[in-house]
Amino acid sequence: MIVTKTLMRMVEFFGADVRRINHALKVHSFARLIANQENITGTELNIIELSAILHDIGIPAAVQKYQSSAGKYQEIEGPPIAREMLMHLGASPETIYRICYLIGNHHSYTKIDGIDFQILVEADFLVNIFEDKMNAATVSVIRQKYFKTRTGVRLLEQIYMPEK
């Protein structure tokens, strides 16, 4: 239920920003798919889903404050917004803490410290590769450097590296 409520809250938050809404929905779908295929359940699955939905929630504040949507600014502005939303939606303090950590570091790949973080990064890349029209060489580097889950690798290769 909290996932559905968070999805609705995210749509309300972004308003007419269809690009951001669609991005969040796509990242959430890939994150949920990877997590399910990797047999993630319970609280960990909730953390993955909620962080995927809210990972870019700081972009409007970053653009307003820094005139930039760069990852470092998303990481600064996103956690306080996510924390407030999740508190109002009834998430536990432990869940909120972890989600805010993920949102506050989702462009800092050296900080990946768990399967929840790994899946968020892989799902975001699966969407960003398409949205940013990344070339084959870049996709290959991303695959080598950042993809670790069996399902994430499989999806990346099937979608973007069909010759493998």
Find the CATH number of the domain harbouring 85. 1.10.3210.10
State the pLDDT at residue 143: 98
Per-residue pLDDT tens for 23-62?
A: 999 999 999 999 999 999 999 999 999 999 999 999 999 9
pLDDT of residue 130: 98
What does pTM read for this prediction?
Answer: 0.96
**Which range marks the domain in which residue 63 is found?**
2-160
In single-letter form, the type of residue at position 24 comes to A
Q: Helix/strand/coil (H, E, C) string of the chain? A: CHHHHHHHHHHHHHCCCHHHHHHHHHHHHHHHHHHHHCCCCHHHHHHHHHHHHHCCCCHHHHHHHHCCCCHHHHHHHHHHHHHHHHHHHCCCHHHHHHHHHHHCCCCCHHHCCCHHHHHHHHHHHHHHHHHCCCCHHHHHHHHHHHCCCHHHHHHHHHHHCCCC
Cβ neighbours of residue 50 closer than 8 Å, sequence gap 6 or more: 2, 3, 6, 86, 91, 95, 99
- Residue 163 has what pLDDT? 75
Number of domains in the chain: 1
Predicted local confidence at residue 162, as pLDDT: 83
pLDDT at 164: 57
Low-confidence ranges of the chain (pLDDT < 70): 164
